[in-house]
Chains A and B, each alone.
Chain A
Amino acid sequence: MVIKKNKKKDKNFELEKKKSTTKKVKTKETQTVKQEKITQKRGSKKAEKIIKEEIKPSVTLDESKIEATKYYPPQMDKKNGQKYVSYEEKKSLPDETLIKQKYDDNKIVLLVRDPYWCYAYWDLSGNLIENKKKEIKPGWGKYDLILRIYDVTDIIFNGFNAHKYQDIKISMDSNNWYINVWEAGRSYIVDIGFKTEDGHFILLARSNVVNTPRDRVSNITDEEWMVVDEDFDELFRLSGGGKFGSSESFRSLLEMNLSSENVSSFSSPSGKPEEKKGFFLIADTELIVYGATEKDAKLKVRGEPINLNIDGSFSLRYHLPNTTLKIPIEAESSDGKDKITINITVERKTE
């Protein structure tokens, strides 16, 4: 039991750690990105302009915030220091949170985040790195790990024919990077490799191609129109689309080529949930009216019929505001012969 608990702690720690490593990487990366921006600014005024020209987000954070209420978490109870305890801590189910952090598949993958930013992650084996280091000739000088991002718009890239490229120096222990790209609506590829002082580049891995979206209305105004109507279904069937469940006809011969704001308690429409500031006092009152009679008697409290518990007892709970209350309690035996009434008067004053 003890061992298990410790193990779990470790794994929770793993999760936590993962979080913080990512954050660390990110800080580093923003710094470098800033440097990049500066070089760009020096390089061309145009690039600067593009960066500054933020697209106006059609989508505000409101929607994400509202959507997040679907997953509204329990709030911390500051008074009692209670916190929602995750299941694993209290249930004895097998732990299934330990996964490999590295696959050593010598791959770099590029993803599009928006018109100006791409995200790259990579996974290089120690072997590859050692072997490639051996290719660096002694006379080439010191070397750095770099990302080389190529603009390959409308090009079948062969490694040398990009419109342009840019090198970004990264730290040896990083494994992902956000890359600020020059221009929206272009195609990019990224290489990771060593770059020596005298300019030699030793490739470690090359990414997939990505296409970033345009950030403005297209200049192309040629119009093409098409009619798709009810015969769509027929055409669809004729193209082999009718065979659901055994879509053999769709499977082309197989290529295994695969290249191919903190809202946890965000504001309600009118303001943030109240934060208790330091010392406070909250007080309110409730009134409990209880008693018992014969099990089969009829009971009325304030004129309202009340269901008795099996043993003939009853208990009613009221919020008690500042007021004077008269509470008549009336019991009547099942044969209607006996009747007892108790009148209670309660007064609350708050000063």
Chain B
Amino acid sequence: MKEPLGYLALILHAHLPYVRHPEYNDALEEYWLFEAITETYIPLLNIFNKLIEDGVDFRITMSLTPPLISMLRDPLLQERYSRHINKLIELIEKEVIRTQFEPHFNRIAIMYREKFYNARYVFEEKYKRDIVSGFKQIQDAGKLEIITCGATHGFLPLSLYKESTNAQIKIAVDHYIEIFGKRPKGIWLPECGFNPGDDEILRKYGIRYFITDTHGILYGSPRPKYGIFAPVYCKSRVAAFGRDMESSKQVWSAKEGYPGDYNYREFYRDIGYDLDYDYVRPYIHESGIRINTGIKYYKITGKVDLGNKAPYDYIAALNKTAEHAGNFMFNREKQVEHLSRLMKRQPIIIAPYDAELFGHWWYEGPDFLNYLIRKIFYDQQTIKLITPSEYLEKYPKNQVLTPSYSSWGYKGYAEFWLSGENDWIYRHLHKIYEKMIELAYIFKNKPLTQVQERILKQAAREVLLAQSSDWAFIMKTQTMYEYAARRTVNHIFRFNKLYDMIKSGNVDEQYLARIEWQDNIFPNIDWTAYNI
């Protein structure tokens, strides 16, 4: 293949907050994980594996966040996913029978049946319940670059203390090394939240690049010569890549974007809500509240009420994804042709998305990626897929500038995480960062008893869990306000209790053991990361 005119870096950010609840039998929040496994992570793995099998060369970059990896590797959640997928299979078997007199629904039920059985096979047999190992294999095959993220997805521009940013990065990098056996080359800053100076911390832990939103680079200083179509170096020698707006919009926008096409599956019509209560009762939440099952029979249809949606046609939808993949590729080719006339080198287009957008929100999203990757490989020679680190190897000389404070959140800064709905959390969060920094300072050079060590580790876990940007995000969207507020307050409460224990010497070992069991993320956490 001849040299392409430019490169495209597809970046998928896979993340869910740590929502493991051993204290409940059927925690609703755990369904976030289960749905993402069935609809996003397994379909992506299937696609990557099939591409390798078919000899299609490709590159893709994915951030798998530490909380997500930890949940995917957790035996309790694995057991619960197994239970979940088995129940779904039981339900879909009934659905295949129930819809027999309506071929247009029956076809869809049969499609789901295939997919659910496949999900169970991939989960149970192929990867022996550890699907992170699936991603690792694709990384080892040289097709996927897995990057890390903040330890618990803390929004760094609001972390106030360098130490707390340091802990988010160091503990994430340690965790990555534990799982993948090497240092991560890149990082997805949580919500792309960048605060000038944080790059120094990234450098300290050997991270070579991060992704910012467009204006992070564009408003950087000095002015970026190549805009966002080439990386830049911070003074710390860490590279920053800027998001391309055009390719983002085509996928993200609910109105103009591909996922809004009328042929695609409607997210909001689910048999968990649509069918007779007694019939679906065994498959919804144990409390009896109706929830999404993931079985949805309708397509977006048009600007009609939810009640007037037409039956979904998977084949028609697949044809659409092929068409959309072709369109996306065509636009990138044109973009690169244009850019390459303006630049003295091959431009790179950074196209980052939430991984869960593909499959969970946009049901056909994984098929879109599949078609896109194949088309890029077979149908043209203008662009080629690349990872950011490969691009840096090719072009090690880049402009030096300081990127601007920015995020990829609503309006581009911190507003989504700092507004009337959630601003009350920061005085408490900052207080526990302060106290944790104090503990790390006091105890770092002291000989510790086993219990003291356990308390310090658990205290650091609680701080990190409280810091997840997801809680502020959920409070802002008002989707599960109560839950998010409770999680924030619970971790602060637990931290304070541990702080008092270690300071006073009055240890409640039973309590300690209970929260170690509940909040069990990062077994080997380095609490001294709060001391720099």
Report how many residues on chain A are interfacial, defined by Cβ distance under 8 Å.
114
Contact of A218 among B222, B400, B409 (CB under 8 A): B222
- Evaluate contact between A113 and B479: CB separation under 8 angstroms: no
A93 to B490, CA, bound (A): 12
Interface presence of B281 (CB below 8 A):
no
B489 and A99 form a contact (CB under 8 A) = yes
Q: Is B290 an interface residue (CB 8 A)?
A: yes
Which of B52-60, B141-149, B170-178 lines the interface with chain A?
Answer: B170-178
Most buried by B among A218, A224, A241: A218
Within residues 289 to 312 of chain A, which ones have a CB less than 8 A from any CB in chain B? 302
Interface residue B180 (Cβ < 8 Å from any Cβ of A): no
What residues of chain A lie closer than 8 Å to B456, measured between beta carbons?
none
Known contacts: A22-B424, A245-B174, A264-B479. The answer to whether A270 contacts B302 by CB under 8 A is yes
The interface residues of chain A lying within 8 Å CB-to-CB of B428 are 99
How far is the CB of A115 from the nearest CB of chain B, in Å? 7
Chain A 17-47 per-residue mask, 1 if CB under 8 angstroms from chain B, else 0: 0110011001000000000000000000000
Contact present for A112 and B399 (CB under 8 Å): no
Q: Residue B245 at the A interface, CB < 8 A?
A: yes
CB contacts (< 8 Å) of B397 on chain A: these are: 225-227
Give Cα A97–Cα B305 distance, bound, in whole angstroms. Answer: 40
Interface flag for B480 (CB, 8 Å):
yes
B199 at the interface (CB under 8 A from A): no
Nearest residue in A to B40 (C-beta to C-beta)?
A70
CB distance from A24 to the nearest CB of B (A): 10
Most chain-B Cβ atoms within 10 A of its Cβ — which of A69, A216, A219? A69
Which residue of chain B has its CB nearest to the CB of A80? B277
Q: Is B477 an interface residue (CB 8 A)?
A: yes
Interface residues of A in 123-174 (CB under 8 A from B): 123
- In the docked arrangement, what's the CA distance between A318 and B96, Å? 9
Contact A111 B98 (CB under 8 A): no
* B531 & A251 in contact (Cβ 8 Å cutoff): yes
A85 to B291, CA, bound (A): 13
Specify which of A22, A175, A263 is in contact with B420 (CB 8 Å cutoff).
A22
Chain A residues with CB below 8 A from B4, complex form: none
Asked if residues B408 and A74 are in contact (CB atoms below 8 Å), the reply is: no
Residues of B close to A274: CB separation below 8 A: 305-307
Task: Tell me whether B391 is interfacial, beta carbon within 8 Å.
Answer: no
- Does A197 make an interface contact (CB < 8 A)? no
A9 to chain B, nearest CB (A): 14
Asked if residues A236 and B206 are in contact (CB atoms below 8 Å), the reply is yes
Interface membership of A254, Cβ < 8 A? yes
Residues 94-129 of chain A, each 1 if its beta carbon lies under 8 Å from chain B, else 0: 001111100101000101111101010101000000
Given contacts A22-B423, A113-B415, is CB(A84)–CB(B28) below 8 Å?
Answer: yes
Contacts A66-B254, A72-B479, A87-B24 given; does A233 touch B206 at CB 8 Å: yes
Shortest distance in angstroms between A104's beta carbon and chain B's nearest beta carbon?
11
Query: What 0/1 pattern do residues 296 to 310 of B give for CB contact below 8 A with A?
Result: 000011111111000
The 8 Å CB contact of B478, one of A75, A80, A82, A262, is A262
A350 within 8 A of B: no
Return the contact of A258 from the options B301, B360, B434, B529 (Cβ within 8 A): B434
Q: In the bound complex, do residue A77 and residue B300 qualify as a contact, i.e. CB atoms below 8 Å apart?
A: no
Question: When the two chains form their complex, are residues A270 and B206 in contact, meaning their CB atoms are under 8 A apart?
Answer: no
**Complex Cα gap A267–B393 (Å):** 44
Interface string of B254-266 (1 = CB under 8 A from A): 1101011010101
How far, in Å, is B432 (CB) from chain A's closest CB?
A: 10
Q: Tell me if A268 and B32 are in contact (CB < 8 A).
A: no
Contact of B100 with A318 in the complex, beta carbons under 8 Å: yes
The stretch of B111-119, B125-133, B155-163 in contact with A is B155-163
Q: Would you call B357 an interface residue if the criterion is a C-beta within 8 Å of the partner chain's C-beta atoms? A: yes
Residue of B nearest to A231 (CB): B396
Contact for A263 among B161, B398, B426, B478, CB less than 8 A: B478
B457, CB-defined interface residue at 8 Å: no
Question: Are B289 and A82 in contact, CB atoms less than 8 angstroms apart?
Answer: yes
Is B326 at the interface (CB under 8 A from chain A)?
Answer: no
Q: Which B residues are CB-close (under 8 A) to A219?
A: 223
Residue B213 at the chain A interface, CB threshold 8 Å: yes
Q: B140 in the interface, Cβ–Cβ < 8 Å?
A: no
The reply to whether B289 and A84 form a contact with Cβ atoms under 8 Å apart is yes
Closest 9 CB pairs of A and B: A269-B260, A114-B413, A229-B396, A213-B405, A218-B221, A274-B306, A220-B222, A263-B477, A96-B493
Sampled A-B contacts (15; CB under 8 Å): A64-B476, A66-B259, A68-B477, A77-B289, A82-B288, A83-B289, A220-B221, A225-B400, A230-B393, A244-B205, A256-B437, A256-B441, A269-B300, A270-B260, A317-B97
Interface residues of A (CB under 8 A from B): 15, 18-19, 22-23, 26, 55, 57-75, 77, 80, 82-88, 90-91, 93, 96-100, 103, 105, 109, 111-115, 117, 119, 121, 123, 175-176, 208, 211-230, 232-233, 235-236, 241, 244-245, 247, 250-252, 254, 256, 258, 260-264, 267-271, 273-274, 286, 302, 316-321, 323, 325
User: With contacts A59-B408, A84-B289, A114-B413 known, what are 19 further pairs, Cβ within 8 A?
Assistant: A18-B424, A19-B421, A60-B253, A64-B477, A71-B473, A74-B285, A75-B290, A82-B288, A105-B431, A111-B426, A208-B160, A218-B221, A220-B222, A224-B399, A256-B437, A258-B161, A263-B478, A270-B300, A317-B94
Using a CB–CB cutoff of 8 Å, the interface residues on chain B facing chain A are: 16, 23-24, 27-29, 32, 36, 94, 97-102, 105, 157-158, 160-163, 170, 173-174, 177, 196, 203-206, 208, 213-215, 218-223, 225, 233, 237, 239, 245, 252-255, 257, 259-260, 262, 264, 266-268, 273, 276-277, 279, 285, 287-292, 300-307, 354, 356-357, 360-361, 392-393, 396-401, 404-406, 408-416, 418, 420-421, 423-424, 426-428, 430-431, 434, 437-438, 441, 444, 470, 473-474, 476-483, 485-486, 489-490, 492-494, 496, 526, 528-529, 531-532
